[in-house]
Amino acid sequence: AQKITQTQPGMFVQEKEAVTLDCTYDTSDPSYGLFWYKQPSSGEMIFLIYQGSYDQQNATEGRYSLNFQKARKSANLVISASQLGDSAMYFCAMREGNTGKLIFGQGTTLQVKP
């Protein structure tokens, strides 16, 4: 069965430093997509970045990059130059094959310190 694991319940990072949020996944489907969402305290789910299982290069979106290691089944999110506004809950999610639904990890709470 498909599964997403985020082992870091909470993380702290100093403003302007980089931080890596871990995500591992398990699936038997060769076709899947991996997503990261940010959920601030206001509750909305904000899409950050996407990585497809067949993508050769790691995805990047501005200050966000995804360290995709397919053999290890990991898809870690790297946030560079952290800002105070980055303080939020971060969810890793997987979309498998043609089902479309997202399976979420438990989330990691990130706090950026000034």
Partner 1 sequence: AAGVIQSPRHLIKEKRETATLKCYPIPRHDTVYWYQQGPGQDPQFLISFYEKMQSDKGSIPDRFSAQQFSDYHSELNMSSLELGDSALYFCASSLGTVSYNEQFFGPGTRLTVL
Give yes or no for a contact between 34 and 93, defined as CB atoms under 8 angstroms apart: yes
Q: Pattern of binders to partner 1 over 55-94, x per CB under 8 A?
A: ------------------------------------x---
47 near partner 1 (CB under 8 A): yes
Query: What distance lies between CA 92 and its chain's CA centroid?
Result: 4
Looking up tokens 């489907």, which residue turns up?
29
Nearer residue to partner 1 within complex by CB, 46 or 84: 46
Report the residue from 1, 28, 41, 43 that binds partner 1 according to the rule CB under 8 A: 43
From 13-21, 65-73, 75-83, 98-106, give the range in contact with partner 1 by CB under 8 A: 98-106
- Exposure class string for 45-67: b at 16+ Cβ within 10 A, else e: eeebbebebeeeeebeeeebbbe
